[in-house]
Structure 1
Amino acid sequence: MSRVPTAALSKYLLQGQVSRQGCLRLTRSHLSARALALRPAIASHCRSLHTQQAAPEASLSSSPAPPPSHVPLRKQLKDEAKKAKAAAAGKKKKNASNQVVPGWELTVGIEIHAQLNTAKKLFSEATTSFNDESNSHVAYFDLATPGSQPHFQKETLIPALRAALALNCDVQPVSRFDRKHYFHWDQPAGYQITQYYEPFAREGRVVLQPRDGIAAEDGDGIAVRIQQVQMEQDTAKTMAQPGETHWIDFNRTGVPLIEIITRPDIHHPATAAALVRKVQILLSAVDACVSGMEAGGLRADVNVSVRRTADGPDAPLGTRTEIKNLSSFKAVEDAIIAERDRQIAVLEAGGAVEGETRGWAIGSTETRRLRGKEGEVDYRYMPDPDLLPVVIGDDLVSHLRDTMGQLPDAEVDELVDVFGLTAKDALSLVGLDGGARVEYFWRVVEALQAKLGGGAGTIAEHPGCFQLAANWILHELGRLTSNPHDESAQDLGLTADGQCQRVPVESLTDILAFLYQRRITAKVAKELLWVVYRGTVPAQYASVADAVETENMWFRELAEHEYAALADQAVEGQEGIVAQFAGYKKYPEGKLMFLVGRMIRLGAEERIDPKNAESVMRRLLEEKYVPGLKRA
């Protein structure tokens, strides 16, 4: 048999075309008389198989139908992919419109585990470690070495108390530790020490507002009750290796956690995600939590159940399932939606929801079963006989409450009411860099007040200057480090007390003051910010003012007649554009800005104020270029 060319095979496989040459050729000389007689029946049978439909038996004498038109395989695959994508898009709703399922009520309770900001572990003097060499900070008790005893480290209680106060909890004067028994390789003792029966804090609440990102169905806000906050030890870190091998890092064993358990007060997925986000912001604001969800310092487990709304509000809640270890705010919302829909589908099909623990993978569309739900009896809670009760004095609680500082809600209110920021910008400013960004803002505000020479009313006298400062600190500073292709881009070096190593407060204050006073242009201001960030100030120039003076970057604006001359040049040859300003129904703002843009390009950009250029062009259109033009 002769070799079949690659092109012929390609046409056959991808386009369904049969070659007329070589071994693919089928001629009459190769067919017997019997095969020729059976040919019509074979063709009919093949068509039946192709369409997968039952066809009546064809007689030998019937003439064959014309062969079906062949569709290339590549096109078939593309069409099938488009249909699948369209079907998925039809089923999947945006989360904003997927908060409620008619006829059903969702109920959610959340357990949040947060790593405390402490130097020592909960029951040993080993150092807390997150990025150090594996198993380099491990005490005998962390490994459950026989004869080792737990020693409660009192300093770990301080960030836990700050967290409880930020969550509006009642601190208990006496609390006790319990053993929660289960066996896993990440728990060498066979039990975890926690506070199940007598936690150190109870009955708190977190108030969520629309600006926190709650579901629209929750209206003006919702208060989520905190059942209790308890201290407990973290487990070891499991690192999966190729095959069935797992490595264990005991550095994390015994790291102090708090577990925040809410009441089942949440009924919408977006509100659940908003609560976790709000708790993270609160814990960061009072310096209780070492890191957020993005760094693994905070994890959430959600308990989900559904019931029919027709059963009434007094009907018992449905069987709940727990989704473990959600590591992002989006995962919280998406996992709740997926599990809610799964439970509703089970109940509508006549089945029963099983109490179980389920898992969630990022990018998934459904939860997966992990194991049957353990009950309290399975854990065999018992008081830990090796640990004494924890007694907390009122004087300590009062001192921490008085020195806790301003909480995020009050700070956001001040940014909105005093500085005129939007709620979104205010929340972003408070939440960025663990609160360090907003501390930097307050330092810049203080420096600007001194720069502008005003007293207590400086902010009211110059609101635009402080709004400009907020915008630059929120957006322009972020752009400095946002380019992943720039090897020189580094962290801003913000500290908790509001200092910035890369852009000192004094340098940014000078840039903003010069820009607000119109002594430099916005373009020059951005160039100066980049120069400061790169360290050229103070390495090459003594200060921002020295850089402006040395490089002759002061803004020397054009005179009125110079703007007018530029406007004459800009409209030259643009008769069609200018004509659109005569007899308009709606003022052509876009055409106006086109002409202003020509003015800026024709002139010296560093000497042009765009607002003044627009004002001159608008006036000359009315007075000179289009006489009798009505005012917009």
Structure 2
Amino acid sequence: MPHVRPATLSRYLLQGQLISRGCLQTRPRVQASSITTPHVQLAQYLHTETSESPSNGRASVGVPFRKQLKDEAKKQKALGKKKKKKNVNNQVVDGWELTVGIEIHAQLNTAKKLFSGATTSFNDSPNTHVAYFDLATPGSQPLFQKETLLPALRAALALNCEVQPISRFDRKHYFHWDQPSGYQITQYYEPFARDGRIQLQSRDGIAAEDGESVSIGIKQIQMEQDTAKTLAQPGDVHWIDFNRVGMPLIEIITHPEIHYPATAAAFVRKVQNLLNAVDACVSGMEAGGLRADVNVSVRRTDDPSNPLGQRTEIKNLSSFKAVEDAIIAERDRQIAVLEAGGVIAGETRGWSIGSTETRHLRGKEGEVDYRYMPDPDIAPLLIAPDLVTHLRDTMGELPDDVVDALIRDFGLSSKDAMSLVSLDGGMRVEYFWNVVARLQSQLGANAPQEHKPCFQLAANWILHEFGRLTAERSDESALDLGFSQEGECIRVPAQHLADLIHHLYNRRITAKVAKELLWAIFRGRVPGEYHTVLDAIEKEGLWFEELSSDEYAALADDAVRGQEDILRQFLDAKVFPQGKLMFLVGRMVRLGQEERIDPKNAEAVMRDRIQSVYVPALKD
């Protein structure tokens, strides 16, 4: 199947209507106050006072994730605690078997909430997109928004699930200020998708103990409502933003088939990449659009007939590292309790960034506690087979297919291919395709076969040199690169990078000059002060005029002058001392005109003269 971009995948609806801003909708976004359904205009924030923390662990203080990490590190340092050294062999504890099941909650990429006409909102003013039903106002009724089904179905197909022709919604009862109705609408008994499976490979970062690959089963995927957003304030005050209540989620529930912490983290990462690839999810873990709960149990390995141990649940893990670290900490805690003769209690536990231990939150609720019941106000959800077939046929390439193509067609390493696919929600690999298309037009029809090093060079620059551009040289330079779903970069347009790579590949400019040109493009000098990359090279006289063979030889002679001690180490060496060779090459570059020196050619000249001139002279 030809390559299909995520931007293309997101541009269809039941009637072929286009969407805007990456969200499924049948008409332009409107503010809550202009929707036909009556909406409630609330105060900027509703707030409640309490002496306890939210019992469901959903509180959010509105602090960026990176700042949380820094603040926690400072706190631990102030307390005199040393950072726990990572144990490279922490995937297994001798005599014990770990079993993990995962529940992933992902916000769907939709324009409306699940059961009301209110628009989804992530950055708008608090409590400005709220319908009567969102607040459980008496007399209000749920109305299923069909647009929310499409990204959910794409997610289910990407996870190899069987879509159920009939599914139903249930009420899950619990009382907390973030759920105004006193229950959450979900699909506990009859979800819309079942029996999926994901194949993880070693390149996905699974534990070495799993070998080259491992298959993880998905029990079911269900649609459900999100809760309101709680923002903790000083003095035991919590502000409530109801913009989030009723937003459509999917909950992905695995079978308890994971046995290593690293594999659990790799599974969550793989799910996030798949959801991004099919435009099903709003954002990833780093932005709060995807959260993971893990169920952890341990049992001794001396008796294979032993049942699985009592499980505990760790709620709302917000990073891949947190998934792995929390599982390790909870596994070790349970083992310590059992070895001391204790009993593991079924409970819900929490995890804080930078912590080394899980903490008790509350006793574990069960099916009886939640009092599940079919929702009497919502009709069964009927999904036609032709819709499922259409979505499956137009799914396009999934991340594994793209990674395989990058490795096969361009010779990229699996690490670089995985990075390209996962960075910037898949938009960076779209940018790579655009650069490749422009390079192919410059190199000719057989470019992929004859010029793989050129495309490898482009991938390397898109991954690594772009990272240096935003390496906090200044506040201005640390701005986002600005990748779009169409595969363009605002700060470094694909055409300019392709021109730069083409000249560098053909050795018309040096790597140092190329880096300076990239910085000029990033700062807006190309286009601007210079119209194109070629214009900048010609106006500044940046073309590479390499030294001749005689000039290289003379420069090598200058570099070894006074370095007899270094040269003597080449006399009887069984293995050519590469480090000493590069030391001498470095002297060549420093002594000569760097803008006229090709390091590889300088290395070849120095190696040849050591073997043919300098070492024989020492022997004489």
How does the TM-score come out when normalised to structure 2? Answer: 0.85
Structure 2 distance, partners of 1:320, 1:628, is 75
Partner of 2:401: 410
Partner of 1:560: 549
Partner of 1:549: 538
**Cα deviation per residue 1:18-45 (whole Å; 9 max; x = unaligned)?**
xxxxxxxxxxxxxxxxxxxxxxxxxxxx
**Cα deviation per residue 1:471-530 (whole Å; 9 max; x = unaligned)?**
011111121112263424321111112111111111001000100000110011111111
The amino acid that maps onto 1:536 is: R
1:93 shift after superposition: 6.6
**Residue correspondence of structure 1 range 202-241 to structure 2 within 5 A:** 202-241=194-233
Structure 2 gap ranges (5+): 1-76
Partner of 1:71: none
Name the SS for the 1:395 alignment partner.
Answer: helix
**Cα deviation per residue 1:549-597 (whole Å; 9 max; x = unaligned)?**
1111011111111112212222223333333333334323222222222
Q: Is the 8 A contact 1:622 1:629 kept in 2?
A: no
Structure 2 distance, partners of 1:489, 1:296, is 22
Q: Is the aligned partner of 1:363 residue 2:342?
A: no
Structure 2 distance, partners of 1:602, 1:364, is 52
Q: Is the aligned partner of 1:528 residue 2:517?
A: yes
1:177 shift after superposition: 0.7
Equivalent of 1:102 in 79, 94, 108: 94
Cα 1:629–1:391 shift into 2, 3 Å: farther
Partner of 1:31: none
Structure 1 gap ranges (5+): 1-80
**Residue correspondence of structure 1 range 2-401 to structure 2 within 5 A:** 94-312=86-304, 314-401=305-392
Q: Is the 8 A contact 2:568 2:618 kept in 1?
A: no
Structure 2 distance, partners of 1:578, 1:217, is 47
Name the SS for the 1:258 alignment partner.
Answer: strand
Between 567-576 and 110-119, report the one with greater CA deviation: 567-576
Q: Is the aligned partner of 1:515 residue 2:504?
A: yes
User: Relative contact order (C-alpha < 8 Å, sep 6+): which is higher?
Assistant: 2
Cα 1:159–1:579 shift into 2, 3 Å: same
Q: Is the 8 A contact 1:621 1:629 kept in 2?
A: no
1:287 shift after superposition: 0.7
Cα 1:434–1:460 shift into 2, 3 Å: same
**Residue correspondence of structure 1 range 598-617 to structure 2 within 5 A:** 598-617=587-606
Name the SS for the 2:342 alignment partner.
Answer: coil
Structure 2 distance, partners of 1:145, 1:334, is 42
**Cα deviation per residue 1:328-379 (whole Å; 9 max; x = unaligned)?**
1111111111111111222222221111111111111211111111110111
Larger proportion of helix: 1
Structure 2 distance, partners of 1:133, 1:486, is 26
Q: Is the 8 A contact 1:622 1:628 kept in 2?
A: no
The amino acid that maps onto 2:571 is: A
Equivalent of 2:463 in 468, 474, 492: 474
The amino acid that maps onto 2:508 is: R
Structure 1 distance, partners of 2:326, 2:292, is 11
**Cα deviation per residue 1:187-211 (whole Å; 9 max; x = unaligned)?**
0000000011111100001111111
Partner of 2:8: none
The amino acid that maps onto 1:364 is: S
Q: Is the 8 A contact 1:96 1:215 kept in 2?
A: no
Q: Is the 8 A contact 1:127 1:137 kept in 2?
A: yes
1:275 shift after superposition: 0.6
The amino acid that maps onto 1:235 is: T
Name the SS for the 1:304 alignment partner.
Answer: strand
Q: Is the aligned partner of 1:627 residue 2:606?
A: no
Name the SS for the 1:235 alignment partner.
Answer: coil
Q: Is the 8 A contact 1:581 1:629 kept in 2?
A: no
1:144 shift after superposition: 0.8
Structure 1 distance, partners of 2:225, 2:594, is 62
Q: Is the aligned partner of 1:504 residue 2:493?
A: yes
**Superposed CA RMSD:** 1.7
Structure 1 distance, partners of 2:607, 2:309, is 67
Cα 1:309–1:583 shift into 2, 3 Å: closer
**Cα deviation per residue 1:582-619 (whole Å; 9 max; x = unaligned)?**
33343232222222222211211111111111222222
**Cα deviation per residue 1:375-417 (whole Å; 9 max; x = unaligned)?**
1011111111111111111111111111111011111111122
Structure 1 distance, partners of 2:417, 2:188, is 38
The amino acid that maps onto 2:117 is: E
The amino acid that maps onto 1:358 is: R
Structure whose CA Rg is larger? 1
How does the TM-score come out when normalised to structure 1? Answer: 0.83
Partner of 2:453: 464
Structure 2 distance, partners of 1:328, 1:250, is 25
Equivalent of 2:431 in 440, 453, 478: 440
